[in-house]
Structure 1
Amino acid sequence: MLHNINKGMRLGSINGLRFKQLKLVILAFLMLFLLWKWEKGTYYDSEILQPDPLVLTHPANSKIIERHTPSEEDFPSPDPLPQSVVKVEKQVTAAPPPLSMTGYSVDVADENEVLPPQNKECNYRNGKWVSDNHRPLYSGFGCKKWLSESWSCRLTQRTDFAYEKFRWQPEACQMPEFEASRFLRRMQDKTIAYVGDSLGRQMFQSMMCMVTGGKNMPDVQDVGAEYGFVLAPGAKRPDGWAYRFLSTNTTILYYWSSTLCDLEPLNPSDRATSYAMHLDRPPSFLKNNLYRFHVLVLNTGHHWNRGKLKTNKWEMYLGGAPNNNRNIAVIWKAKNFTIHSVVKWLDAQLPHHPQLKVFYRSISPRHFFNGDWNTGGRCDNTNPLAKGSGIHLNHSEDTDAEGAVSGTRIKLLDVTALSRLRDEGHISRYSIKATQGVQDCLHWCLPGVPDTWNEILAAQL
């Protein structure tokens, strides 16, 4: 009898011990699960930014525009970005954004601001827009020598200019106020080159206005001829512009390369010839002039659509021959292939050019609502920061750009998410001649958002 009692007690102790061990194992798994979900951002206590299907789709689902826009730039199919941050909502949808992006957006009028995690690592993409009555950095009326009329919204019928009165405040970075003379001294004997599409040209014009204060300076010399920037017969504009500030020997230039791949005429003697679009070759301009640059800023994205290829007679080439790889021939895959190619080439060149710093600028968001550029899409909002003022993400919205520079010495100039909040800053329906037509919800008013891109660039130099 006693033996049975002792045996029962031992079994009870063993079972109790097993039960406690089981509880500990379950508790450990639960803690690991919660930590994993926290890292993924699921339980991050903040407002989550959700995709707006009218503005943003994955490139695989994009509609390709097959006709040519009458404006100076095509407004192509929706941004070649993954579905990520666009619209502020209170509820979390079942489908998580790619790369486990966490995010918050702060309403300008909301005093109960939701704070991001206490991560002190500096990343200029995270922060908030703040009102600043000392803005803008230059006058849209005054910067006529450097700024295209169509981008100077002060010269149009627009009457609201609140969009000029904001600056970007990174949450964990020291970003001093841009001061032109100090910047030029830092860039003494250096050359800053912007290579890309019209959004790159906006950034170039913004920088010229910022360093001159929008005023004509007698010591600024046109040196475009040194880089082959001459107006070709029948062309609206040269392939680029270059100016040198004689007081500091600082050169700022822009070269037009909307796709960042080399274009070669198939029949140079024929003005109507088609062009080989070498997806695996950087523009020859880069190859020929890289040794002259100290800062290089690249961008592409909005010209990758069938309409542009057809209109410009661009034919995809790979390995010096017409591309027969049907997988790469898909537009957004061809774009990604090209970006990776040029970034890889530049990364290999950097050891030979130790003076050079290279930045790839993430894509600038479009803000066509209730349609696209050719279907009545509009961007009529004039209320700044209607979607919130702050951003906190653990990955770039432009995952293609982020993936291309990952593991290289090329820096990502990540401006997509912070620009996404500024839909009121586009050219919209305004023009010099007050003509009705397609709204420009791609380019920005200047002064405006591209000034911030340059401030973030300057802070990282």
Structure 2
Amino acid sequence: MEEKDKVFTEAGEDHIAEKPPSLREAEGDPNQNVEQSLNLTSQGVAEGGQEDENTPEVGDKQEKLPNLIDMEEKDKVFTEAGEDQTAEKPPILREAEGDPNQNVEQSLNMTLQGAAEGQQDDENTPEMGDKQVCNYAKGKWVVDDSLPLYSGFDCKQWLAPGWACRLMQRTEFSYEKLRWQPKDCKMERFKGDEFLKRMQGKTLAFVGDSLGRQQFQSLMCMITGGLERNDVLDVGGEYGLAVPENGRPDGWAYRFPTTNTTVLYYWSSCLSDVERIDPEDPNTHYAMHLDRPPAFLRENLHRIHVLVLNTGHHWNRGKLSANRWVMHVGGVKNTNKRLSTMGDLKNFTIHSIVSWVNSKLPENPQLQAFYRSISPRHFSGGEWNTGGSCDNTIPMSIGKEIVDEESKDYSAWHAVQGTGVKILDITSSSKLRDEGHISRYSLTAKRGMQDCLHWCLPGVPDSWNEILYAQIK
């Protein structure tokens, strides 16, 4: 069965937090400010992420072998087997020696200190040539009768049936007709042939969770217009994504031969390297290295021209327990009390992966790197397993315009400050689109359960790709 709608299996919290005062105006003793920043950031995320204690969602089971993860079923069980234990560490940990806990303290301080220093540039709006760079997160939803860019009845070559709401019980589809229009700047309309020309001889890679996979499938449908393309090549084997004999791959890679353009997706729900603690034990726990990027990125970054990272909804203790993940930092089990909450762990990992990618930009001048902000959930009256729902089908009932200049995903915004990694900020605009979720319409959903996390396609993720397209050089 394709996807099973991922039967609502990402019950993480949005973690949309206010910026700590200590990072708004960092003054006085830098060390004191960094200490306050860490404490306030951790506190804010912990308070905003109480749902991290949720039990595992429906269908979560631990697969015996990482390469047998059912990626189109119940959110896979997120057990990417990491490789190459001697991989280069992010700059914040590269020189760390001695007491592991002391090293974590140093890396935490350096991470937040760097982010605080990076905020000094916020007063200056970056420019591209003689034009200001658009704030794509600020704007409004407008009705566009030329949409959607592909049919939800078609695109079966790329689109999982569990996300194609036209094939479900839903009867209202006005959500397909909304386009995101940034304020004070024009955003070029997406055209598949123009995308391929712009990406001629290049590779675009999505690395993240099932929301990243939705964006990947959306883009494939947008490029092809939902039409069958027998000329498109499956090149997953070139990236180690060949289909196992009795399972599904860790991702997909497709190449358009007319322009030699490759679009791929790699599953990494937490953007960390994950490896078996005991390779000989089929029931082993897994070391989840928060400061080590996935082996896939370490091995393939030099081949990628546009990279889109995301994580967020898997940072809850239910999933960690179900997947037998054990947090590691600096090559050893994490015992640092400052990395004790899900919010702390997630933020540290986001900073680590962004820092690592940023450190690789000088030797990969071809690379444009984006960190996509979190895709919001819209459960009302409960959670995925307690009667939570998103029954609204009327577009823009919450509102249609975003006027805020600042991102509502503070973790992502904070991580990219002072780096060459851009934020692909889709949180606020998507927050207005509660009618766009799969909701109760899935043919495979259990009674009383709704999917208020994943989106109908075509739908909201198409707008994410339009914003991405506008920024690809």
Where on the TM-score scale, by shorter chain, does this alignment land: which range?
Answer: 0.7 to 0.9
Query: What one-letter code is carried by the residue in structure 2 that aligns with 1:368?
Result: F
Deviation at 1:435, TM superposition (A): 5.1
Aligned equivalents of 1:364 and 1:175: distance in 2? 21
Question: 2:355 matched to which residue of 1?
Answer: 344
1:299 to 278, 285, 310: 310
1:63 aligned to 2:51?
Answer: yes
Question: 1:418 matched to which residue of 2?
Answer: 429
Question: 1:385 matched to which residue of 2?
Answer: 396
3-state SS, counterpart of residue 380 of structure 1:
coil
2:325 to 310, 314, 322: 314
Aligned equivalents of 2:306 and 2:268: distance in 1? 17
**Does the CA contact (< 8 Å) of 2:52 and 2:315 recur in 1?**
no
Aligned equivalents of 2:267 and 2:143: distance in 1? 34
**Does the CA contact (< 8 Å) of 2:46 and 2:341 recur in 1?**
no
Question: 2:384 matched to which residue of 1?
Answer: 373
3-state SS, counterpart of residue 344 of structure 1:
helix
1:264 aligned to 2:252?
Answer: no
Aligned equivalents of 2:346 and 2:399: distance in 1? 31
Question: 1:152 matched to which residue of 2?
Answer: 164
Deviation at 1:376, TM superposition (A): 0.6
Question: 1:113 matched to which residue of 2?
Answer: none
**Does the CA contact (< 8 Å) of 2:45 and 2:344 recur in 1?**
no
CA 1:439–1:348: 2 relative to 1, 3 Å: same
Query: What one-letter code is carried by the residue in structure 1 that aligns with 2:388?
Result: G
Deviation at 1:121, TM superposition (A): 6.2
1:179 aligned to 2:166?
Answer: no
TM-score by length of 1: 0.76
1:131 to 143, 147, 150: 143
Question: 2:181 matched to which residue of 1?
Answer: 169
Deviation at 1:232, TM superposition (A): 3.9
Deviation at 1:230, TM superposition (A): 2.8
CA 1:203–1:135: 2 relative to 1, 3 Å: same
1:217 aligned to 2:229?
Answer: yes
Deviation at 1:128, TM superposition (A): 0.5
Deviation at 1:233, TM superposition (A): 5.9
**Does the CA contact (< 8 Å) of 1:260 and 1:299 recur in 2?**
yes
* 1:140-165 deviations in Å (ceiling 9; x for gaps): 11111100100000000100000000
Aligned equivalents of 1:272 and 1:145: distance in 2? 35
Question: 1:246 matched to which residue of 2?
Answer: 257
1:122 to 134, 155, 164: 134
Query: What one-letter code is carried by the residue in structure 2 that aligns with 1:142?
Result: D
* 1:152-205 deviations in Å (ceiling 9; x for gaps): 000001000000001011112221111100110110000000000000000000
2:418 to 383, 407, 413: 407
TM-score by length of 2: 0.74
3-state SS, counterpart of residue 253 of structure 2:
strand
Within-5 A mapping of 1:41-80: 58-61=45-48, 62-71=50-59, 72-73=74-75
Aligned equivalents of 2:460 and 2:231: distance in 1? 27
Question: 2:290 matched to which residue of 1?
Answer: 279
Query: What one-letter code is carried by the residue in structure 2 that aligns with 1:249?
Result: N
Task: State the aligned residue count.
Answer: 363
1:356 aligned to 2:367?
Answer: yes
- Bigger mean CA deviation after superposition, 389-398 or 267-276: 267-276
Calculate the aligned-residue CA RMSD, in Å: 2.0
2:456 to 431, 445, 461: 445
Aligned equivalents of 1:187 and 1:273: distance in 2? 42
Aligned equivalents of 1:355 and 1:305: distance in 2? 35
Higher RCO (CA-CA < 8 Å; seq separation 6+): 2
Deviation at 1:231, TM superposition (A): 3.4
* 1:31-60 deviations in Å (ceiling 9; x for gaps): xxxxxxxx99xxxxxxxxxxxxxxxx9433
Aligned equivalents of 1:452 and 1:68: distance in 2? 30
CA 1:58–1:383: 2 relative to 1, 3 Å: farther
Deviation at 1:270, TM superposition (A): 2.5
Percent identity among equivalent residues? 59
Aligned equivalents of 1:59 and 1:140: distance in 2? 39
CA 1:389–1:66: 2 relative to 1, 3 Å: closer
3-state SS, counterpart of residue 243 of structure 1:
strand
**Does the CA contact (< 8 Å) of 1:397 and 1:416 recur in 2?**
yes
Deviation at 1:279, TM superposition (A): 0.7
Aligned equivalents of 1:315 and 1:388: distance in 2? 41
Deviation at 1:434, TM superposition (A): 6.7
- Bigger mean CA deviation after superposition, 217-226 or 251-260: 217-226
Aligned equivalents of 1:434 and 1:340: distance in 2? 36
Question: 1:22 matched to which residue of 2?
Answer: none
3-state SS, counterpart of residue 183 of structure 1:
helix
**Does the CA contact (< 8 Å) of 1:121 and 1:172 recur in 2?**
no
* 1:315-345 deviations in Å (ceiling 9; x for gaps): 0001101111021131110000000001001
Deviation at 1:423, TM superposition (A): 0.2
Aligned equivalents of 2:51 and 2:223: distance in 1? 40
Aligned equivalents of 2:414 and 2:381: distance in 1? 31
Gaps of 5+ in 2: 1-23, 26-43, 60-73, 77-118, 120-131
CA 1:412–1:390: 2 relative to 1, 3 Å: same
Question: 2:113 matched to which residue of 1?
Answer: none
* 1:255-306 deviations in Å (ceiling 9; x for gaps): 0000001101112222322110001111111000000000000000000000
Aligned equivalents of 1:170 and 1:246: distance in 2? 33
CA 1:260–1:349: 2 relative to 1, 3 Å: same
* 1:91-145 deviations in Å (ceiling 9; x for gaps): xxxxxxxx9xxxxxxxxxxxxxxxxxxxx86200001000001100001111111
Deviation at 1:63, TM superposition (A): 2.9
1:229 to 241, 257, 272: 241
Aligned equivalents of 2:450 and 2:363: distance in 1? 45
* 1:370-405 deviations in Å (ceiling 9; x for gaps): 111111100000010001111011210001100000
Aligned equivalents of 1:196 and 1:448: distance in 2? 19
3-state SS, counterpart of residue 412 of structure 1:
strand
3-state SS, counterpart of residue 208 of structure 1:
helix
* 1:196-245 deviations in Å (ceiling 9; x for gaps): 0000000000000000111111220001111111334654x310000000
